[in-house]
Amino acid sequence: MKVYMTHLSRLSIITLSMLLLLGLPAVAQRGATRTRINTSRLMEIKNVDVVYISPAMLQSVPKASLKIDGADAMSGIMEGITSIRIYTSSDRKAIQEIRHTFAPIIELRHSDLEQLMYVKDGNGVVNLIGQLQGDNATELYMIVSGDDEYTVINFSGSFSRRELEKAVSQDNNRRRKR
């Protein structure tokens, strides 16, 4: 009986180990899934305007001049920006290409994406989507969709959830007062 239990215990440990080892890559992949967008083809599409502001260029601009509408809550976000990319067009075909390129972001296809803000008014729709890793966002996507223009602004950097919530709640309060 003792030999049987030892064999059973070894078999259980081996089986448990195998299950854990087989399960680890799936768990690691789920936690490590990051949405990647290939924007290089937008450079080749006619009527898509592309602007890139490098980290070096951002460092040369005083942070105070980057404030949006003088909002203090935005200062934490503005300080966390390391680079900015802007993709915009007013051409229908080019707009379709931009939408197609950013579809994984717009449609929130992956668990690392979270819609932080959505505003619809008479002029169009503004979405703010964050690519989060825990309590930090590494990418913010502001998508502005109007009747005759479409713009995606990608802010790269490091943004805490607290900074994002503060900025979004201040913006919502400002909109209610209008």
141-155 confidence digits (pLDDT tens): 999 998 899 999 999
Q: Is the pLDDT of residue 174 over 50?
A: yes
pLDDT per residue as tens digits for the range 72-120 = 545 566 778 889 999 999 999 999 999 999 999 999 988 889 998 888 8
Domain housing 28: 1-32
- Torsion over CA of 122, 39, 158 and 150, rounded to 10 degrees? -10
Task: Give the count of domains, the chain.
Answer: 2
| 85 and 133 co-located in one domain | yes
pLDDT per residue as tens digits for the range 24-77 = 333 333 344 567 888 888 999 999 999 998 888 887 766 555 555 545 545 566
| 5 and 70 co-located in one domain | no
Distance CA 97, CA 50 (A): 13
CB burial of residue 119 (10 Å; 0-12, 13-18, 19+):
middle
Other Cβ atoms less than 10 A from the Cβ of 141: the count is 23
Q: Is the pLDDT of residue 160 over 60?
A: yes
| 63 and 85 co-located in one domain | yes
| 9 and 44 co-located in one domain | no
